Structure 1
Amino acid sequence: MVPALEKILAATKSMVFFGGAGVSTESGIPDFRSVDGLYHQKFKYPPETMLSHTFYETHTAEFFDFYRQKLIVHGAKPNAAHLRLAALEREGKCRAVVTQNIDGLHQAAGSKTVYELHGSTLRNYCTRCGKFFPVQFIEDAAGVGDGVPRCDECGGIVKPDVVLYEEGLDEETMENAVHAIRGADTLIVGGTSLAVYPAAGLLRYFRGENLVVINKQPTPADAMANLLIHAPIGRTLDPDAPIEV
C-alpha cells in the first residue's frame, strides 16, 4: 500500500479510474506493448493489421483464427486492483471505471459502472440480424467449416463487440466517460501507457484536485500528476499488501 494514495482515497468523494492493459497483466492477461506483449511476437502479419477492420473484411477466417488464439482469455480472475475498485464503488467513492480493456474483469470483480472504450470479448453480435452470442459461440466455430462464426438464425457473421483498428469508439460510451471524468475530484490513471488515442485524450477533461498516475513505465501524464507511482497496480491498490511500494 502507499500511504499518500490511501490519504487521497480517504478524502475523495467522486473518484474515477482510467485504466489499460496493465490492470489485467496481474491476472495473467498479456498486454500489447511490453517486451513480452502481443506486438513483440512474430506473426504472418503485424497484429495491428490482423486486428483491423480491413483485415476482418478481407481475411475473415484468418482474423477469427488470430482472435481466438490471442484475444479470448481462459481462466483469468480479477486481481487486487479490480477488487479494490469494486470495493471503492460500494463505498460510494468510485464514480466510474473507464477501461481500455476488453476482458470484463472489472464487472467480474463487482464494479457496476464500467465504460468499456474498446468493447468486450464477452459480447458478440450477428452483423445481419443483431442477435447476441456468448464468447463460447466464437470458440465453438473453430471446428466448423472455415471457422467463421455464423448466426444460427439468419446466417450472418457473428462479430465480436470489440473496437478494431480503423473503427471509431462508441459515441455514447465516450460521452459517459467524459462526463464522469469531468465531474471527478480524483482521477487515477493506471496500467496504461497513454499511447492509444482517442482514449488517452480523455485526461484533458479532468478538472479535479488529484491526478494519480500508477504505471510501471513512464507516461505522458507523469509531469501533471499530483502523485506518481511506478509500481504494479494490483499491489499498489491493495490496502493489505505487506510491502510498501
Structure 2
Amino acid sequence: MDQRLEELIAKSNNIVFFGGAGVSTESGIPDFRSVDGLYNQQWKYPPEQIISHSFFEADPEEFYRFYRAKLIVKDAKPNAAHLRLAKLEAQGKLRAVITQNIDGLHQAAGSKNVLELHGSTLRNYCTRCGKFYPVEFIAESEGIPRCECGGIVKPDVVLYEESLDQKVLQRAVRALEAADLLIVGGTSLAVYPAAGLLRYYGGRELVVINMTPTPADKLATLCIQQPIGQVLGE
C-alpha cells in the first residue's frame, strides 16, 4: 500500500478510475500487448486483424475460433484491485470506473457505475432479431453461433474499425470533468480513442499505476510501477 496514494484517496470525494488490460492480468487474463500477450502468439493472421469488423464479416468462422480461444475467459475472479475499487464506490468516494476491458470483472467485484468503452463478452446479440444471449451460448457453440431465427449472434464488443458507443463516451467525459482525483491503472494509454479521454480530466491530482511508462506520467502527481492489485490491495 502506497502511503502517498492513500493520502490522495483520503482527501478526495470524486474519484474516477480509468483502467485497461493490466487490471485483469492478476486475475489470469492475458494482456494483449505485453511481451507474452495475445499479440505475440501464433495465429494465421495478426490478432488485431482477426478482431476487426471487416475480418468478422469476411471470415466469421475464424473470428469465432479465435474469440472462443482467446477472448472468452472462464473462471476468472476479481482481484484485489477490482475489489478495492468497488469498496471505494460503496464508501461514496469513487464515482465511476471507466474501463477498456471486456471481461465484466469490475461488476463481478460489486462496482455499479462501470463505463465499458469496448463493450463486454458477457452480452451477445443476434444481428438479425436482437435477441440477447449469455456468454455461455457462444462459448459452447461450434462454428458460427446462430440464433433460432438464423442470424449470427455477435458479442457486444467493439471490434477494430467500429466506433465506440457515444452514450458511454459522453458519460465518461462527464465523469472525468467532475473528478477531483483520476487514477489511471493497468493501461499503456496506447489505444485510441479511449486514451484520448484523459484530456477531459480537469482535476489537479493524477495517479498512474502501470508496470511500464505511459504518456501521462509527465503530468502525474504520482507514478507507481507495480502490479495494480498489489498497490490497491489493502
Q: TM-score, normalised by structure 1?
A: 0.95
Report what 2:199 is aligned to: 204
Cα distance in 2 for residues equivalent to 1:105 and 1:97:
11
Correspondences of 1:156-235 after superposition (within 5 Å): 156-235=151-230
Residue identity in the other structure for 1:228 = C
| Unmatched 5+ stretches in structure 2 | none
Report what 1:149 is aligned to: 145
Report what 1:48 is aligned to: 48
Identical positions, percent: 70
| Unmatched 5+ stretches in structure 1 | 240-245
Alignment root-mean-square deviation, CA: 0.5
Cα distance in 1 for residues equivalent to 2:69 and 2:200:
36
Cα distance in 1 for residues equivalent to 2:49 and 2:68:
16
How much does 1:141 deviate?
A: 1.4
How much does 1:69 deviate?
A: 0.3
Q: TM-score, normalised by structure 2?
A: 0.99
How much does 1:209 deviate?
A: 1.9
Report what 1:36 is aligned to: 36
Structure 1 outlier segments of 4+, above 6 Å = none
Cα distance in 2 for residues equivalent to 1:73 and 1:42:
19
- Matched residue pairs, number? 234
1:49 aligned counterpart, secondary structure: helix
Residue identity in the other structure for 2:88 = L
Report what 2:76 is aligned to: 76
Correspondences of 1:96-135 after superposition (within 5 Å): 96-135=96-135
Cα distance in 1 for residues equivalent to 2:194 and 2:177:
14
How much does 1:140 deviate?
A: 1.9
Cα distance in 2 for residues equivalent to 1:140 and 1:14:
41
2:141 aligned counterpart, secondary structure: helix
